[in-house]
Structure 1
Amino acid sequence: MTTPASGTSATSAASPTSGARTRFAGRTALVTGGGSGLGRAMALAFAAEGANVVVAGRTEGPLKETAGLIEDAGGTALAVTADVSRSADLAALVDATVERFGSLDVAVNNAGILRGGQPVAELPEEDWRTMLDINVTGVLLALQAEVKQMRTQPNGGAIVNIASTLGAHIRVPGTTAYATTKAAVSALTKGAAAEHMRDGVRINAVSPGSSDTSMSLQGGESEAGRTERMKTATPLGRVSSTEEVAAAVLYLASDESASVVGADLVIDGGAAA
């Protein structure tokens, strides 16, 4: 459930006391897959703007580390172990969030997994089912638990699903199964957004491309090697920083995007342009 370990930028986001912006003061933000990588960067970014932050994932240690980083910087955080492929875990996660902080105002469904690397004909069935369970069913079950709570709240809530530029936007040989699951997240986002906007719940997606996490490293590749490869691999000539992806998520979760519903915001250095 947790995302891959990040590069140094994922733990260098502004601290809760280092910036003047307080867009999420008094609000509670839940981030699945919050133990590392993009999930950790998003959690830190929400905390930096005043949110109470709940981080969830299957492995307790990394979650507690993320929560500790937030608390050390003066923020408030809660770490909850949960498997997004289990509806009971997600219901308990939302209950724990509301019990601790009183509401669920923002949810980021970030937990995901990349398996494969083979053409479709050689893809192990177990890899296919694992990606479907976490990347697709996990988002569906999370949406159900989150919307159930948010529709009871006077101010509703905002949900951001993390899809990928691999999927609805571009395809790369060897990643077809992963891209299929992420294209499903894009479609699920748009459909759910149309169905639940009248409930006071805004649902959008962010589709990152290669970012500064270990997921963007090819087999045996170093960060220096990736830097060199990316000079020609994308029009921008580099990976996106985790803070850049987090900034897009915070925008879609904030009041600044109050009329944005069902969007799929691509952050990929121009790869899908």
Structure 2
Amino acid sequence: MTMLAGKSAIITGASAGIGREAALLFAQEGARLVLTARRRAELEQLAAQIAAAGGTAVALPGDIRDDAHAAALVAAAEARHGGLDIAFNNAGVVGRTAPAADLEPADWQEVLEVNLTAAFLAARHQAPALQRRGGGSLIFTGSFVGHTAGLPGMAAYAAAKAGLVGLVQCLAAELGPAGVRVNALLPGGTDTAMNVARAPGAGPEVLAFVQNLHALKRLAEPQEIARAALFLASDLASFVTGSAMLADGGASICRG
């Protein structure tokens, strides 16, 4: 399968979870990758795994909150792969969960920086590169939280992810004439280490609560969200832009 044959892609948050599965899937579909995350060992192991399977991946660990790192990812895609066609800006954090009145300003700032400001920094470097290629796909991982639902203790996360949808809409309007599609992918609860149900000390009742939020009564596997990202990255989504595409297992419509 070669849905992304000849395409160059950046994937952030690639060392684990959705980002890792997207990297494996995109590589299987023919994309040449630049991968980033903070954890060097995991990132380099993933790049080696992709290379062993016949794919192409460059590991460039760093902090997505760093504007220079955002620029370096684009420079690597252009130097190693001849340009940039796809960017899947997937990295994010839930941050501290607590009532809004109990959050410290530093708690708020961290979540906004990682989930929203970093998306802006990525876009300011990725968009010109995509335009130099004559078009492409710019994808950001959002959440149903802050879009169709509010959950107690997640004010900072919800605010950041809601802001991300607004950023996506404006970018789509700005970049559409240049052939660049911009979309937000909104997963539901996904079975990764970042999920509150998998946090240290979370008992089975937490998992049951999170599962019950979804019409499908389960968490998503990371591969399922990666396949939704593949759709947005590929030509199958050639007329999809400015969307907040839900892949949430029905969490947005479930009331029990």
Q: Shorter-normalised TM-score: what interval?
A: over 0.9
In the alignment, the residues of structure 2 paired with residue 74 and residue 175 of structure 1 have an alpha-carbon distance, to the nearest angstrom, of 41
- For 2:173, which of 177, 190, 194 is the aligned residue? 194
**Residue identity matched to 1:214:** A
In 1, are the aligned partners of 2:14 and 2:37 still within 8 Å (CA)? yes
Which aligned pairs between 1:119-130 and structure 2 lie closer than 5 A?
A: 119-130=99-110
In the alignment, the residues of structure 1 paired with residue 226 and residue 34 of structure 2 have an alpha-carbon distance, to the nearest angstrom, of 16
Q: 1:231 to 1:136 in 2, by over 3 A?
A: closer
- Note the C-alpha offset of 1:229: 4.2
* 2:47 is the alignment partner of 1:70: no
* Counterpart for residue 14 of structure 1: none
- Note the C-alpha offset of 1:185: 0.7
In the alignment, the residues of structure 2 paired with residue 92 and residue 42 of structure 1 have an alpha-carbon distance, to the nearest angstrom, of 21
C-alpha RMSD over aligned residues: 1.5
* Counterpart for residue 186 of structure 2: 207
* Counterpart for residue 182 of structure 1: 161
In 2, are the aligned partners of 1:105 and 1:157 still within 8 Å (CA)? yes
Deviant stretches of 4+, over 2 Å: 224-233
* Counterpart for residue 16 of structure 1: none
Q: 1:100 to 1:245 in 2, by over 3 A?
A: same
User: Between Structure 1 and Structure 2, how many residues are aligned?
Assistant: 251
In the alignment, the residues of structure 1 paired with residue 65 and residue 251 of structure 2 have an alpha-carbon distance, to the nearest angstrom, of 30
In the alignment, the residues of structure 2 paired with residue 24 and residue 180 of structure 1 have an alpha-carbon distance, to the nearest angstrom, of 33
In the alignment, the residues of structure 2 paired with residue 171 and residue 109 of structure 1 have an alpha-carbon distance, to the nearest angstrom, of 23
* Counterpart for residue 3 of structure 1: none
Q: 1:99 to 1:259 in 2, by over 3 A?
A: same
* Counterpart for residue 84 of structure 1: 64
In the alignment, the residues of structure 1 paired with residue 216 and residue 177 of structure 2 have an alpha-carbon distance, to the nearest angstrom, of 38
**Residue identity matched to 2:144:** T
Secondary structure in structure 2 of the residue aligned to 1:81: coil
* Counterpart for residue 118 of structure 2: 138
Unaligned runs of 5+ in 2: none
In the alignment, the residues of structure 2 paired with residue 124 and residue 226 of structure 1 have an alpha-carbon distance, to the nearest angstrom, of 25
In the alignment, the residues of structure 1 paired with residue 100 and residue 34 of structure 2 have an alpha-carbon distance, to the nearest angstrom, of 37
- Note the C-alpha offset of 1:130: 0.8
**Residue identity matched to 2:74:** V
* 2:228 is the alignment partner of 1:248: yes
In the alignment, the residues of structure 1 paired with residue 142 and residue 168 of structure 2 have an alpha-carbon distance, to the nearest angstrom, of 9
* 2:189 is the alignment partner of 1:221: no
* 2:147 is the alignment partner of 1:168: yes
In 2, are the aligned partners of 1:205 and 1:263 still within 8 Å (CA)? yes
- For 1:41, which of 8, 17, 21 is the aligned residue? 21
Q: TM-score, normalised by structure 1?
A: 0.88
- Note the C-alpha offset of 1:227: 5.6
**Residue identity matched to 2:11:** V
In 2, are the aligned partners of 1:53 and 1:77 still within 8 Å (CA)? yes
- Note the C-alpha offset of 1:233: 3.1
Counting aligned pairs with the same residue, the percent is 38
In the alignment, the residues of structure 1 paired with residue 104 and residue 207 of structure 2 have an alpha-carbon distance, to the nearest angstrom, of 31
